[in-house]
Structure 1
Amino acid sequence: MASFDGMSPDPGRDPNATLTDLQQLLDQPVMALAEHARPAKHVWHTSVRADPGDRILSDEEWADIARRIVAATGIDPGDGQPGCRWAAVRHADDHIHIVATLVTEDGRRPDDYRSGTRAQAEARLIEKELGLHQVAPGDGTAAQRPTSAERHKAERQGRERTAREELRETVRRAVAGASSDEEFFDRLAAAGILIRTRAAPSGDLLGYKVALLDDLNKDGEPVFYPGARLAPDLSLPRIRERWSGKGAQDDPAPRQEDAVRWGPGSPSGARRETASAAWQAVLLVELGDDAVAAAHIAAAGEVLDALAKTSAAHTRRELRDAATVFERASRSQVRAARGHDRALRQAARELVHGGTALGRGEDGATTAMAIDMLFFLITAAAHWHAKKGHAQQAEAAVRSAELLRTAYRAAAAMPLGVLYQRGRRLSRPMLQRQSMVLREALPGLAEQILAESGWYALAATITDAEAAGHDPAALLAHAVERRKLDTADSVSDVLVWRLRRLADLPADATGMPENGTARRPTTARPAAARTTASGRHFGEEAPANTR
């Protein structure tokens, strides 16, 4: 243990010392004040934790860290200045707890303004000097972390996460694609959350707070958290910005054809609309102004939440984790111009109202299609944050993309396997014909694609597109417009989903005739008539400064 005087009683090592002895020693400056002058809240507490990958620090190193933290925060500044009494306790190999009384030896309050920010700044210096994992600097937009008391309570109750974290996720999912206060609160109530609202004398709603049914305080009452305490963008005024913003006239409108053509209100129609909205959003993140890009990045978080909420069992965990991780990337100091993101928010809404996908057939295949395009969008968000110097957000987006990669593999395995088998059964003349189409449309990528195992799935897709009345060479050229694909692990995978979406082909090819005849009557449209954006695929590397 370390302490302000180096000689404080250590109940962990001295059998004759007790916690009461330590408490009385720390509280002496407080008790020396007249009773009316004693502050109501005089205890300061923080924990300092090493990364799981760091080496085990010695007691002496942890003691020095504790002294530097209390000096940086103003709790005990040193250099002859009056400080507060404090003690640091090592609870495990990887962390310590520091507790102090906020009354100095001369009876004054310490200069601890913004102590948390000052402690974080000192921690970044300590990490660098001791060769530890360096945490990316924040910008004040992160959600509040659970307190030690909340974590310990969750452990006692056998919860994987604290009540604060569970509520944050539930509120995020409730707001995804919502369009009014009523719909938002109805979703919260349906999720079994306790809600209390705050109204002005006029009756206008000003705010809300939420609680879990089984999270109680010592008096047996529910513990409520205001929305703003869950995350900065979950206060009622910030939530209302999502559905009250007015978009510019030149923003792309939500593509409703997908939901209509593939079943109104169906999971597969919603996923097709999601893929289209993500395709459009990539270009706006890459080329739009900062406020518009920030709006689309924030709305991408809503889409991830909605997709996770309605996902099938075999992709649920990865999608949920991807949405949770991306939450940090959805906010920055750049204020989002809400309203410009209406296509993505509409996609999130359609996902929620479309219900849970079964994970097979058209639902499963369009899930892979949607994840594929969302990966491009999340990667574009990582690049945007990296360029802006948003280190924590860029790192979160990269981690989210990796989780999407895993979810994609699970979702795409079956539909791509079906297409692969159909491609293998194509006649040699047909395969040669499709090879010629590929070389004509993509001369710089053709040989790489032909060497991939996914070529057969792409050949089957080209055959389907041609049978549906499309010009496959034009579709291929359109699919790679504005984006190089030479660094992708599987260019053919990218093109399969892009072609099936652009040509309005069934994502699930099960049951389609071997000659590729389309199984639903549609009017083929030229590929050039479709709006396009672009993005990276799973094999493309994120920029070094985002990791």
Structure 2
Amino acid sequence: MIPKIILGKGPQATRRTIGYLFGKGRANEHIDPHLVASWNDFAPDPGRSPHRDPKDAMAQLVAQLDQPMKMLGDKAPKDTVWHCPVRAAPEDPILTDAQWADIARRIVAAAGIAPDGDEEACRWVAVRHADDHIHIAATLVRQDGRRPERGYDQRAVQREARKIEVDYGLRRLKQGDGTGAKRPTSKEHFKAKRLGQDAATRDVLRLRVRRAVAAAADEAEFFALLEATGVIVRLKIGPSGDALGCNFALPGDTNDKGEPVFYAGSTLSPDLSLPKIRKSLATTSSEPATARPGNPWHQATAATERIPHHLTHGDDNVSQGQLVALGATLDLLPVTAPATIRAELERAAAAFERATRSRISADLASTRALRRSVQAIWRDRPHDSDGTGLAMILDAVLTAVAFAVHWHRTHQHAQQEAAAEQALVHLQVVYGQVAEPVLAGLAQRAPSDQIKRRFAHHLQKAVPEHAERILNDAAWDALATVLAEAEAAGHNAATVLDQALGQRTLDDAHSPARALTWRIRRLGERHAPGPRAQAAKAHSTAQRPGIPAHPTAGVPLQQQPPARRR
């Protein structure tokens, strides 16, 4: 159940609100508007007044609601109307008028509009438009002339809604923490439909601004990218001449005067205010884009693989920063992905967006490598003809998102946990579509049975607890291929395999052979060490038995999330 509070301003706010509630709606969606409850249980009902003109009943209702406000004259408050739509989920049972009336009374009591037993409380009405929702409208002056005590009413109403869901057997939503993005209003949805847009302007702008933040190396490029995607930017300039904030609009989305409708960045999402955008850009703006040579697919994958370690061993601020960077990665990947998987990747990014924000402030210092490498992928479009680069980073992203689910769960971030779980579902679909053809191509180049037996022998010695799973895995031939290719490039196959096994535990891998395939593919493409270097490394490893080669190896099982699908 979703309640949402909207404040109306000015002396005509009550008339406008009641006119809308009992009108035809913006798309003729108001079929049978009628009262289900009111402050005194016998307020005039413009929707059910067969023996009088509905306009007269509406005028009388407005007058009665406004009476306490009129008594204050010039001392009336700026905010005059409290409007709260309350909507049930599509799968919820249809509630009766009496049940909706009870829900309305509980909502106004929780908000401080009309506490139980308070005969001098604000005047209010609850109007039902359809099976699944009501609108509550109240005037914000009590009948004794005082203002209602409604501090933190949005939080109070949400808490009451969670209780109502339990009492009525409705879909139970996750408790929020006030960091979620503002949802488009019904008005914005209807406007988008009229304009022929697939999504509301608010959602379109949020996606474009987030992508520009993820892709830009500095503030100038950020604004240039927005302009290139058709976003109109209006800066708020302070007395010093510095930009203090920015508003965004889309061409064609105008008001009644033909002017662009601007949205402040902070109203698109709490992390899209200009100061927070600048903080994010500072992570990547201090070094040139060409500062790090190498394969950006490998660099991005390696940086993503470190996220689980941060989430299990880092402090909360660093962990939150890693989630922000992971969200930026998902924002940019669809732009570089094949058209066949782009929509599913965009759904994953849209879902994970909610998992990137919490009450914990983000320390972005440790995210530079990931953000720069993903920007390089977006900017330079490095060669990835067979999809291996994308498959590798998706494999690492899947693990990171699974750890994000666990991290949010341990911090009791219910909405963020659910968002990460939803993103995981979309990512699993994409990963299957990308990885399967790559693995099939590798399997076709599998080495001889003799070479495979040699690799299998080392596996059985190195990881006896996983060897049987790996050898019976459908991706075993692909793994043998990349081991053979690494060997042909001058690497010692056993050493490379040991390095891959030490990078991170295989305990949570649904397909350990797949996980090892991507790790060895990256290791195999590095410059092969000479014989003396290999001997020195082998000697060093022998002197330190049991020490994991990767910071997340050996993490206790209770600190790891449930196994995820690869």
Q: Structure 1 residue 34: deviation in Å?
A: 5.6
- Which residue of the partner structure matches residue 95 of structure 1? 133
**Does 2:486 correspond to 1:465?**
yes
- Provide Cα deviations, 1:353-409, integer angstroms capped at 9, x if missing partner: 124x89x724x2211111111111222222222222222112211211221111111
Separation in structure 2 between the aligned mates of residue 235 and residue 531 of structure 1, nearest angstrom: 41
- Which residue of the partner structure matches residue 222 of structure 1? 260
Question: In the superposition, relative to structure 1, how do residues 99 and 503 fare at CA in structure 2: closer, same or farther (>3 Å)?
Answer: same
Mapping of residues 348-497 of structure 1, within 5 Å: 348-355=374-381, 361-362=385-386, 364-423=387-446, 426-481=447-502, 483-497=504-518
- Which residue of the partner structure matches residue 369 of structure 2? 343
Q: Structure 1 residue 115: deviation in Å?
A: 1.7
Separation in structure 1 between the aligned mates of residue 485 and residue 228 of structure 2, nearest angstrom: 43
Q: Of 513, 519, 524, which residue of structure 2 is paired with 1:498?
A: 519
Q: Structure 1 residue 51: deviation in Å?
A: 2.6
Q: Secondary structure at the match of 1:340?
A: helix
Separation in structure 1 between the aligned mates of residue 216 and residue 282 of structure 2, nearest angstrom: 11
- Which residue of the partner structure matches residue 516 of structure 1? none
Separation in structure 2 between the aligned mates of residue 298 and residue 256 of structure 1, nearest angstrom: 23
Which residue type is aligned with residue 346 of structure 1?
R
Separation in structure 2 between the aligned mates of residue 301 and residue 464 of structure 1, nearest angstrom: 34
Q: Of 177, 183, 201, which residue of structure 2 is paired with 1:163?
A: 201
Separation in structure 2 between the aligned mates of residue 421 and residue 167 of structure 1, nearest angstrom: 45
Mapping of residues 195-206 of structure 1, within 5 Å: 195-206=233-244
Q: Secondary structure at the match of 2:389?
A: helix
Does structure 2 retain, via aligned residues, the 8 Å contact 1:383–1:542? yes
| TM-score when normalising by structure 1 | 0.85
% same residue: 41
Q: Secondary structure at the match of 1:422?
A: coil
Question: In the superposition, relative to structure 1, how do residues 502 and 118 fare at CA in structure 2: closer, same or farther (>3 Å)?
Answer: same
- Provide Cα deviations, 1:394-440, integer angstroms capped at 9, x if missing partner: 221121122111111111121111112222xx332233222223222
Separation in structure 2 between the aligned mates of residue 482 and residue 370 of structure 1, nearest angstrom: 15
Separation in structure 2 between the aligned mates of residue 417 and residue 246 of structure 1, nearest angstrom: 37
Separation in structure 1 between the aligned mates of residue 552 and residue 422 of structure 2, nearest angstrom: 21
Indicate the larger mover: 55-64 or 299-308: 55-64
| TM-score when normalising by structure 2 | 0.82
Indicate the larger mover: 118-127 or 40-49: 40-49
Separation in structure 2 between the aligned mates of residue 503 and residue 123 of structure 1, nearest angstrom: 55
Which residue type is aligned with residue 401 of structure 1?
L
Indicate the larger mover: 106-115 or 305-314: 106-115
Q: Secondary structure at the match of 1:85?
A: strand
Q: Secondary structure at the match of 1:33?
A: helix
Q: Secondary structure at the match of 2:465?
A: coil
- Name the Cα RMSD after superposition: 3.1
Which residue type is aligned with residue 307 of structure 2?
A
Separation in structure 2 between the aligned mates of residue 443 and residue 437 of structure 1, nearest angstrom: 9
Separation in structure 1 between the aligned mates of residue 65 and residue 443 of structure 2, nearest angstrom: 76
Does structure 1 retain, via aligned residues, the 8 Å contact 2:296–2:377? yes
Does structure 1 retain, via aligned residues, the 8 Å contact 2:502–2:549? no
Indicate the larger mover: 96-105 or 6-15: 6-15
Separation in structure 1 between the aligned mates of residue 312 and residue 358 of structure 2, nearest angstrom: 16
Separation in structure 2 between the aligned mates of residue 318 and residue 331 of structure 1, nearest angstrom: 22
- Provide Cα deviations, 1:18-40, integer angstroms capped at 9, x if missing partner: 36623541442425436534445
Q: Structure 1 residue 213: deviation in Å?
A: 0.7
Which residue type is aligned with residue 80 of structure 1?
D
- Which residue of the partner structure matches residue 322 of structure 1? 348
Q: Of 319, 324, 333, which residue of structure 2 is paired with 1:307?
A: 333
- Which residue of the partner structure matches residue 65 of structure 1? 103
- Which residue of the partner structure matches residue 23 of structure 2? none
Q: Secondary structure at the match of 1:54?
A: coil
Q: Structure 1 residue 202: deviation in Å?
A: 2.5
Question: In the superposition, relative to structure 1, how do residues 340 and 326 fare at CA in structure 2: closer, same or farther (>3 Å)?
Answer: same
Residue ranges of structure 2 left out of the alignment (5+ in a row): 1-34, 542-547
Separation in structure 1 between the aligned mates of residue 56 and residue 436 of structure 2, nearest angstrom: 61
Does structure 2 retain, via aligned residues, the 8 Å contact 1:74–1:112? yes
Does structure 2 retain, via aligned residues, the 8 Å contact 1:26–1:100? no
- Which residue of the partner structure matches residue 312 of structure 2? 286
Indicate the larger mover: 293-302 or 379-388: 379-388
Does structure 2 retain, via aligned residues, the 8 Å contact 1:318–1:403? yes
Which residue type is aligned with residue 229 of structure 2?
A
Indicate the larger mover: 299-308 or 99-108: 99-108
Separation in structure 1 between the aligned mates of residue 499 and residue 521 of structure 2, nearest angstrom: 12
- Which residue of the partner structure matches residue 66 of structure 2? 30
Q: Structure 1 residue 12: deviation in Å?
A: 4.5
Separation in structure 2 between the aligned mates of residue 55 and residue 150 of structure 1, nearest angstrom: 27
Question: In the superposition, relative to structure 1, how do residues 112 and 417 fare at CA in structure 2: closer, same or farther (>3 Å)?
Answer: same
Does structure 2 retain, via aligned residues, the 8 Å contact 1:141–1:232? yes
Question: In the superposition, relative to structure 1, how do residues 72 and 332 fare at CA in structure 2: closer, same or farther (>3 Å)?
Answer: same
Separation in structure 2 between the aligned mates of residue 164 and residue 195 of structure 1, nearest angstrom: 14
Mapping of residues 236-315 of structure 1, within 5 Å: 236-244=274-282, 260-261=293-294, 269-315=295-341
Separation in structure 2 between the aligned mates of residue 243 and residue 206 of structure 1, nearest angstrom: 16
- Provide Cα deviations, 1:471-511, integer angstroms capped at 9, x if missing partner: 33333333233744245332111111111112227xxxxxx
Does structure 1 retain, via aligned residues, the 8 Å contact 2:264–2:273? yes
Indicate the larger mover: 84-93 or 186-195: 84-93
Q: Structure 1 residue 260: deviation in Å?
A: 3.9
Which residue type is aligned with residue 485 of structure 2?
D
Q: Of 87, 97, 101, which residue of structure 2 is paired with 1:49?
A: 87
Q: Structure 1 residue 159: deviation in Å?
A: 2.8
Q: Secondary structure at the match of 1:456?
A: helix
Does structure 1 retain, via aligned residues, the 8 Å contact 2:318–2:362? yes
Q: Structure 1 residue 15: deviation in Å?
A: 4.4
Does structure 2 retain, via aligned residues, the 8 Å contact 1:209–1:224? yes
Which residue type is aligned with residue 354 of structure 1?
D
- Provide Cα deviations, 1:129-180, integer angstroms capped at 9, x if missing partner: 2232222211121122222322332233343321111111111000004232
- Provide Cα deviations, 1:167-206, integer angstroms capped at 9, x if missing partner: 1111100000423221111111111001111222322221
Q: Structure 1 residue 277: deviation in Å?
A: 1.2
Does structure 2 retain, via aligned residues, the 8 Å contact 1:154–1:163? yes
Separation in structure 1 between the aligned mates of residue 288 and residue 495 of structure 2, nearest angstrom: 24
Does structure 1 retain, via aligned residues, the 8 Å contact 2:110–2:160? yes
Separation in structure 2 between the aligned mates of residue 366 and residue 54 of structure 1, nearest angstrom: 44
Does structure 1 retain, via aligned residues, the 8 Å contact 2:321–2:362? yes
Q: Of 106, 112, 123, which residue of structure 1 is paired with 2:144?
A: 106
Separation in structure 1 between the aligned mates of residue 288 and residue 175 of structure 2, nearest angstrom: 36
Q: Secondary structure at the match of 1:480?
A: helix
- Which residue of the partner structure matches residue 250 of structure 1? none
Separation in structure 2 between the aligned mates of residue 255 and residue 542 of structure 1, nearest angstrom: 35
Which residue type is aligned with residue 322 of structure 2?
H
Question: In the superposition, relative to structure 1, how do residues 24 and 113 fare at CA in structure 2: closer, same or farther (>3 Å)?
Answer: farther
Q: Secondary structure at the match of 1:42?
A: strand
Question: In the superposition, relative to structure 1, how do residues 442 and 254 fare at CA in structure 2: closer, same or farther (>3 Å)?
Answer: farther
